[in-house]
Chains A and B, each alone.
Chain A
Amino acid sequence: MMILEIYIFVLAAFTGYMVISRVPPLLHTPLMAATNAISGISLVGSLIMAGAQHNRVATLLGFIAVVCATSNIVGGFLIVDRMLRMFQRTGSGAREAEDRRKAPRRVTDPVA
């Protein structure tokens, strides 16, 4: 089992390296916020710890961990979306209006 897990770790780290090294500096802050949101995945471990009724200490620690991880997931994904919504190309306002006339289904967020 351990060996298999190490395989997975190495391959995932490699994939992460290949994917993330191509992210432009323009989006490095959203990238950090995104990996932060994804790291909220430790909620998976926290949930089991909080609900497995091992003992009181484990339940309490699991509970606090659930709070931390959930706040990261909720806050993380919200903030990434908020940031990415702000990135617009030149004239996207005008183009947006034109797009709307031509193809009403492709509506970009008017707030941003």
Chain B
Amino acid sequence: MRTLFIQLAYVSASVLFILGLRSLTRPDRARRGMQQAAVGMALAIAGTLVNHQILDYRWIALGMVLGALIGYPLGMWVPMTAMPQRIALALSFSALAATLVGIAEYYTGVRSVEGIGHAKAAALGFEVLLGSLTVAGSLVAAGKLQEWITSKPVTFRGQNIINGGIFAFTLGLFAFVVMQPDAARVFYAMLALAFVFGVLFVMPIGGADMPVVVALLNSYSGLAACATGFAIDNVMLIICGALDGASGMILSILMSKAMNRSFANVLFGAFGSDTIDTSARKAGELQVRSITVEDASIQLAYAQLVIIIPGYGMAVAQAQHQVRELAEMIEKRGGEVKYAIHPVAGRMPGHMNVLLAEANIPYDKLYDMDEINSDFDRCDVALVIGANDVVNPAARTDKASPIYGMPILDADKARSIIVLKRSMAAGFAGIENELFYDPKTSMLFGDAKTSLTALIGEMKNV
């Protein structure tokens, strides 16, 4: 009877999780769907708590209370701009949970009379290897995103060879553990090496590539949970782990595609560290045209169609609300405003959409790159706010450019372009942007928030 209840709880939870993820295909249904998934989670926990293997509830109660106390602020108080590092931190938590369960399972298994079989050793080994790699990798990623660790790629000579060597050795230890499941020292050495590899693996990856890495780590933490399922014969863990793994994998492939770079290139390329800049020389000869707030506001006021291209700079300046206000003023004067969102705008997949939604910008005005690019031809003003590499025409034209081939937003096809920018510093990838020297482009220098506030004030007088 009890077993039946547990199994029913697990089946319902799995179904609710899948339906919850499916609801995310429709923004208007997503919230309800995820609330149902939360109910599924409650069912799964209830089902587990009546498991006959649990004899003592004291540590469980304490742990759950403590976890809820930590989880609540992480859910309610973290600002949307800090979402990437928040997710990276959570990934390290989930990987840590999987790893610790794996270690405990191994520790207990080796001491038991029957020992550990080869299959179980393989599952446990895979679990702690991937888990400990993900814990280390996500912590480094979170540190980089929070800028506690430099977000620039950290490289040294022979890095790929050393990292590859460590990884190969770790795999060797894993194979050894599968053959000799009771070799505890080898098991723990593998665990430690996987951790070291996790650190070394993320250190050389630059801040702009973090979306790919975070998505990839998401996939790893899912697979680690999956391996836990194999190790303790729990089907629901296998299902959920597989869902996570698939999701992370899809997102990381989408992100790499959006940057026109292979997976391998993101992971081993240390992009942006030592790129030779070809356009800088050319740019030095060209003039940048700056514009006053008055002229910019007149242009915007009489525009039929304005496409706003927000970048991470907008998020840093916390200017989302000013963007919305300006858009509302343009709309009030009869113009149309659309937002063009590049897939890698922000620091994680879909980050920009969340930031704009937070400022009450309706989501049906947010357009993906493929949907909006044909509209730039008939757009009067393309307003670039804190974006750089995603509008760099060199990606289309300059074969020598490191971002050549990356799909970009065709801002240069607009009738005029206004760029809000702090200074002429290069973008995250460290590449000069030809768009800024285009005769159609005018630059409005200064902090995005200050400039936008000035524009809003000036619009009232036009």
Contacts and interface: CB of A to CB of B under 8 A. Distances in A.
Contacts of A13: 242-243, 245-246
A8 B243 CA distance: 11
Interface string B63-92: 110111011111110101001001100110
B56 interface: yes
A110 interface: no
Prevailing SS type, chain A contact patch? helix
B108 interface: yes
A78 B341 contact: no
Contacts of A57: 104, 107-108
A9 to B, nearest CB: 5
Interface string B1-28: 0000000000001000110111011011
Given A1-B233, A35-B218, A41 B71 contact: no
Interface string A15-41: 111011111111111111111111111
Nearest to A10: B242
A38 B369 CA distance: 29
Counting contact residues on chain A (CB < 8 A from B), the size range is 35 or more
B108 to A, nearest CB: 4
B196 interface: no
Interface stretch (B33-41, B269-277, B280-288, B410-418): B33-41
B112 to A, nearest CB: 9
B75 A35 contact: no
B357 A88 contact: yes
Given A67-B67, A73-B41, A5 B104 contact: no
A51 to B, nearest CB: 4
Contacts of B241: 9, 39
B152 interface: no
A85 to B, nearest CB: 6
A82 B250 CA distance: 24
Contact of B30 (A20, A25, A27): A27
B363 to A, nearest CB: 5
A37 B41 contact: yes
B101 A32 contact: no
B94 A42 contact: yes
Interface string B25-56: 10110110011011001001100110101111
A37 B221 CA distance: 12
A110 to B, nearest CB: 13
Given A19-B18, A38-B17, A43-B97, A72 B59 contact: no
B210 interface: no
B362 A24 contact: no
Interface stretch (B346-354, B374-382, B400-408, B428-436): B346-354
Contact of B244 (A2, A38, A82): A38
- Residue among A16, A58, A92 with the most chain B CB within 10 A? A16
Contacts of B76: 78-79, 82
Interface in B235-284: 235-248, 250-251, 254
Contacts of B176: none
Contacts of A38: 17, 20-21, 37, 41, 240, 243-244
A39 B221 contact: yes
B293 to A, nearest CB: 28
Given A5-B230, A20-B246, A36-B90, A72 B71 contact: yes
- Residue among A34, A53, A80, A88 with the most chain B CB within 10 A? A34
B53 A52 contact: yes
A71 B70 contact: yes
B156 interface: no
B350 to A, nearest CB: 3
Nearest to B108: A54
7 nearest CB pairs, A to B: A70-B67, A78-B75, A28-B350, A74-B71, A66-B63, A16-B246, A51-B54
6 contacts: A15-B18, A20-B250, A29-B353, A48-B51, A74-B74, A86-B358
Given A61-B103, A62-B104, 4 more contacts: A36-B94, A42-B228, A53-B56, A68-B100
